Amino acid sequence: MKKFLYAISLMVLGGLAACSGPTPESITEVVKETVVVEKEVRETVIVEVEKEVVTEKEVVVTATTAPPQQGGVFIEASSTDASLLNPIIYSDAASFDVIQHIFPALINQDPFTGEVIPDLAESWETSEDGLVWTFHLRDDITWSDGDPVDAQDFKFSYEAIASDNVDSPRKYITDGIAGIETPDPQTIVVTFNEVRCDGLLNLGLGLLPSHLYGDDYSDIMESSYNEAPPVSAGPFLFKSWTRDDNVVLERNPEYWKGAPYLEGWIYKVVPDPGARLGQLQSGEVDLIEAQPEQLTTIELDSNLELFKYKDDGYSYIALNLANPENPQPGQDEEGNLVEQDPHPILGDVNVRKAIAHSLDYDAIISKVYLGQGYRLAANVLPAIEWAYNTDLQPYPYDLETAARLLEEAGWVDSDGDGVREKDGTPLSLNLATNAGNTVREDLGVLVQDQLNSIGFDITFEAIEFGTLIEELDNQTFDMIIIGWTGLGPDPNDDAFWHTQFDVPGSGFNAVSYHNPEIDQLLEEGVSVPDCSIEKRTPIYKKIQEIIHADVPYIFVSGTVGNTAYNGKWQGINPGPWAFYHNVEQFSLAQ
Amino acid sequence: MSRYIIRRLLQAIPTLIGVSLISFFLVKSAPGDPVLAMTYDPKISQATRETLRRQLGLDQPLPVQYVRWLTGLVMRPGDATAEFSDEDTGCSYVSLLNYTFCNSGGGVLRANLGTSITTKQPVWDRIAERIPATLELTTTGLIIGLLLGIPLGVLSAVRQGSLFDNLVRFFAVVGNAVPAFWLALLLIFLFGVYLNWLPAGGRRTVSLSDEFDLVDRLRHITLPAMVLAVGWVAVLSRFMRAETLEVLHTDYIRTAKAKGLLPIQVWFIHATRNALIPLATILGPAITGLLAGAVITETIFAWPGMGRLTFDAAIQRDYPVVLGTVMIASVLVILGNLFSDILYGLIDPRVRLL
pLDDT value at residue B3 = 85
Least confident of A152-166, A287-301, B282-296: B282-296
Q: A-contacting residues of B 241-270, CB under 8 Å?
A: none
Amino acid at A274: G
**Are the C-beta atoms of residues A286 and A566 closer than 8 Å to each other?**
yes
Cα of A462 to nearest chain B Cα, Å: 15
- Write out pLDDT tens, residues A439-453: 899 999 999 999 999
Residue B186: CB atoms within 10 Å: 12
Q: Judge: A282–B193 Cβ closer than 8 Å, yes or no.
A: yes
Contacts of A501 in chain B (CB under 8 A): 42
Q: Tell me the pLDDT band of A250, cut-offs 50, 70 and 90.
A: very high
**Are the C-beta atoms of residues B132 and B246 closer than 8 Å to each other?**
no
Backbone angles phi and psi of B245, in degrees to 5: -55, -45
Q: How far apart (Å, rounded) are the C-alpha atoms in residues A24 and A138?
A: 70
**Are the C-beta atoms of residues A414 and A426 closer than 8 Å to each other?**
no
Quote helix, strand, coil % in chain A, to nearest 5.
35, 20, 45
**Are the C-beta atoms of residues A458 and A355 closer than 8 Å to each other?**
no
Q: Judge: B40–A469 Cβ closer than 8 Å, yes or no.
A: yes
Q: Which chain A residue has the Cα nearest residue B309?
A: A244
Residues A332, A338, A344, A346, Cα dihedral to 10°? 90
For residue A404, what are the CA distances in angstroms to A169, A291, A348, A399? 48, 39, 14, 9
pLDDT value at residue A523 = 92
Least confident of A351-355, A532-536, B34-38, B308-312: B34-38
Contacts of A275 in chain B (CB under 8 A): 185, 188, 200-201, 300-302
pLDDT value at residue B82 = 72
Give mean pLDDT, residues A190-203.
Answer: 87
Q: Kindly write down the DSSP assignment for every residue of B91-140, as one continuous string.
A: EEEETTTTEEEEE-S--GGGT---B-TTT-SBHHHHHHHHHHHHHHHHHH
Rounded to 5°, the CA angle A438-A314-A347 comes to: 95
pLDDT value at B293 more than 80: no
Q: How far apart (Å, rounded) are the C-alpha atoms in residues B257 and B180?
A: 42
Supply the mean pLDDT for chain A: 85
Q: How far apart (Å, rounded) are the C-alpha atoms in residues B252 and A356?
A: 81
Q: How far apart (Å, rounded) are the C-alpha atoms in residues B6 and A354?
A: 72
Q: Tell me the pLDDT band of A303, cut-offs 50, 70 and 90.
A: very high
* Pairing of β B90-94 and β A187-192: unpaired
Contacts of B120 in chain A (CB under 8 A): 84, 221-222, 226
Rounded to 5°, the CA angle A514-A520-A521 comes to: 105
Residue A418: CB atoms within 10 Å: 12
DSSP tag of B187:
H
* CB proximity list for A364: less than 8 A, separation 6 or greater: A373, A443, A446, A556, A557
Q: Tell me the pLDDT band of A20, cut-offs 50, 70 and 90.
A: very low
Contacts of B203 in chain A (CB under 8 A): 245
Q: Judge: B119–A84 Cβ closer than 8 Å, yes or no.
A: yes
Give mean pLDDT, residues A516-540.
Answer: 89
From the list B40, B45, B188, which residue is nearest A278 (CB)?
B188
Q: Judge: B30–A466 Cβ closer than 8 Å, yes or no.
A: yes
pLDDT value at residue A533 = 84
pLDDT value at A49 more than 50: no
Global ipTM:
0.76
Backbone angles phi and psi of B13, in degrees to 5: -60, -55
pLDDT value at B354 more than 80: no
Q: How far apart (Å, rounded) are the C-alpha atoms in residues A439 and A314?
A: 13
pLDDT value at residue A2 = 63
pLDDT value at A228 more than 90: yes
Q: How far apart (Å, rounded) are the C-alpha atoms in residues A465 and A480?
A: 11
Burial A467-485 (b: 16+ CB within 10 A, else e): ebbbbbbebbbbbbbbbbe
Contacts of A239 in chain B (CB under 8 A): 208
Residue predicted with more confidence, B289 or A366? A366
Cα of B116 to nearest chain A Cα, Å: 11
